[in-house]
Structure 1
């Protein structure tokens, strides 16, 4: 049952200011809000990195985009004048309530302060300390000092505080028909036989600490095409084209390189059509979960709450090099002290074979496991 103070809200702001995958993992909580408060208009405030996927979520009525100074950006200085103008924009929109979604390693306070200045009367969020007037509906944040919940479950737990629930906690993306047609046309143009089994490898990642070694990805591409006889499509953004070419070279002409060529909708369509995705732990892993494509997730031991959600998967962990590990103390606390070797290309391919139909210990992802 919805909290009495929230029953009459008509205009809700949801705040998720980071990457594509984080926005997508918030979808079930947004669905809970939409279904529990059907009279309310739901606006999502996100970053330029999250805007594309946000516009594909049917739960959202409107997407606002603003890159805030406390989220990592590439070479962009926001400036105080832009922030103050943005606060005025928030004030003019007359939101009844705001929900601030964060990972356990993030603070809600900068976003809460903007909303305080904008005069939004109801603020829901996690906090490790009493936030007083900044967050007047708050859930004590015990992570990572207790076992860490999956990011999807974390956000569902937050909105449950005001009585918003849903039985449908899946990630779900509808693949646009025109994007499906565009992918088939691209594959046909490359002479790619998309009627036989084929997979996608995404070797790029949004931050270096989560990068599975490129030389290993290259060997995986070689083994997939040579030993398994699978078709292979490689993806990445414009900045990752050189790295993807390195991986493509190992496939000896048997891989299609789509790096820097696909729209987000086309990437969703491509992953949705593939038999399997092999990827660093980054946005495409969560897209795969949303279109129910099995995934081998090469997972740097950074934040443990982002494993694949409710999709057939194998998660293979590896350590972040000590020189580039996060200085965030919550992440340091959650990182195991005992090191583990980086999975070999043969181990990656073995995981792929299990997901492609061989017998093995394949699980449906839901809860975060310990770092194993």
Structure 2
């Protein structure tokens, strides 16, 4: 517990990325707001993340584009010049973020992760640290910041706003005569970041959902070449109705599409956490990351979890022997997921939510 003698007047949060992570962080913000409604909250976050959360009630959102380098850091310093926060919640575990904070953010209390969870020497920059929390989910790690301030546990709340323009945009992609499933087949492209399941697997699942449940699929994703090609491969492999919105929606419209979907299917990526924020049922596909740490928080029963199998197959050990955040960086790991595995989770989820 931090030595706060009274509610802080101002809190600065530094968490730049990623889309899923900022969704997991919002309940911590809401918990602080509920406990200290008069405390002002400023959140420095990435450009895409800002677009997703824009309009978040009671929060000053300041976008920062990490691609701008030192020039962007200096602009943020000028933007915050003369401002003193009571507390900095340093939630971004990267040396670049720590340097940004040192350059631009003034606060007497810097709260960061404990040494077991800190990366890139983040704990060196902070004068207060979270108590240990072994094997915490990402969302729980963010809540730990609120609890360290003295905020009590409270029911999870997101309440991420969607504007009218995004509502209209989402409506234009929705089938008007039937319920739909939203599939976001790709995760963000990163070096040795193997999280994507096969296009043929998705195609078989799409056919199954249409023939058994009458559910049309809406494909979503970004504008990268990889995502466009994935969508084309899936489109060519199915004969059932399919709406391809890949690369053609804003993040707010995607949020609305997720909210209104019967269910969502995606790998370890932003949309599974956006689904949780919108209280939409979601089946997450996991093999290269540990779902106990990173799966959609309220949907653990519906996760297709091949992570233990991947650890055994490609790391030659048992899941109990690897560190909590260990990734399986093998291009074939997601192929451990079988179509039958996904269908089994979908059937269970649909029956549970009928």
| TM-score in terms of structure 2 length | 0.80
Provide closer, same or farther for how the CA distance between residues 257 and 120 of structure 1 changes in structure 2, counting only shifts above 3 A.
Answer: same
Residue of structure 1 equivalent to 2:181: 199
Native 8 Å contact 1:13 1:45 kept in 2: yes
Residue of structure 1 equivalent to 2:61: 63
- C-alpha deviations, 1:39-73, integer Å up to 9, x for none? 2211111112311223153242x1112234xxxxx
Native 8 Å contact 2:258 2:274 kept in 1: yes
**1:122 to partner: Cα distance:** 1.5
Quote the Cα distance in structure 1 between the aligned partners of 2:98 and 2:8: 18
Please give the secondary structure, in 1, of the residue aligned with 2:271: helix
Quote the Cα distance in structure 1 between the aligned partners of 2:300 and 2:98: 37
| Aligned residue among 210, 228, 232 for 2:195 | 210
Native 8 Å contact 1:14 1:42 kept in 2: yes
Provide closer, same or farther for how the CA distance between residues 58 and 128 of structure 1 changes in structure 2, counting only shifts above 3 A.
Answer: same
Provide closer, same or farther for how the CA distance between residues 285 and 93 of structure 1 changes in structure 2, counting only shifts above 3 A.
Answer: same
Please give the secondary structure, in 2, of the residue aligned with 1:170: coil
- C-alpha deviations, 1:225-269, integer Å up to 9, x for none? 344432111111111222112112222251111111112221111
Residue of structure 2 equivalent to 1:97: 87
1:307 paired to 2:306: no
Residue of structure 2 equivalent to 1:349: 343
- C-alpha deviations, 1:206-238, integer Å up to 9, x for none? 134211222322222232234443211111111
Larger mean CA deviation between 48-57 and 236-245 belongs to 48-57
**1:115 to partner: Cα distance:** 3.2
- C-alpha deviations, 1:297-353, integer Å up to 9, x for none? 00233254221122585101235799x99xxxxx9623499x897221122122112
Native 8 Å contact 1:53 1:264 kept in 2: yes
Quote the Cα distance in structure 1 between the aligned partners of 2:197 and 2:52: 24
| Aligned residue among 111, 115, 118 for 2:97 | 111
- C-alpha deviations, 1:66-93, integer Å up to 9, x for none? 234xxxxxxx4x4434434433433433
**1:150 to partner: Cα distance:** 1.5
- C-alpha deviations, 1:4-23, integer Å up to 9, x for none? 53625323211112111100
1:86 paired to 2:76: yes
Native 8 Å contact 1:312 1:355 kept in 2: no
Residue of structure 2 equivalent to 1:138: 129
| Aligned residue among 256, 279, 290 for 1:269 | 256
Native 8 Å contact 2:54 2:61 kept in 1: yes
- The count of aligned residue pairs is 330
Residue of structure 1 equivalent to 2:244: 257
Native 8 Å contact 2:286 2:334 kept in 1: no
Cα RMSD after superposing both structures: 3.3
| TM-score in terms of structure 1 length | 0.77
Provide closer, same or farther for how the CA distance between residues 132 and 315 of structure 1 changes in structure 2, counting only shifts above 3 A.
Answer: closer
Larger mean CA deviation between 124-133 and 38-47 belongs to 124-133
Please give the secondary structure, in 2, of the residue aligned with 1:93: coil
Quote the Cα distance in structure 2 between the aligned partners of 1:357 and 1:132: 46
Provide closer, same or farther for how the CA distance between residues 113 and 37 of structure 1 changes in structure 2, counting only shifts above 3 A.
Answer: farther
Please give the secondary structure, in 2, of the residue aligned with 1:5: coil
Residue of structure 1 equivalent to 2:232: 245
Native 8 Å contact 1:14 1:99 kept in 2: yes
5+ residue gaps, structure 1: 69-75, 326-330, 363-372
Name whichever structure is richer in helix by fraction: 2
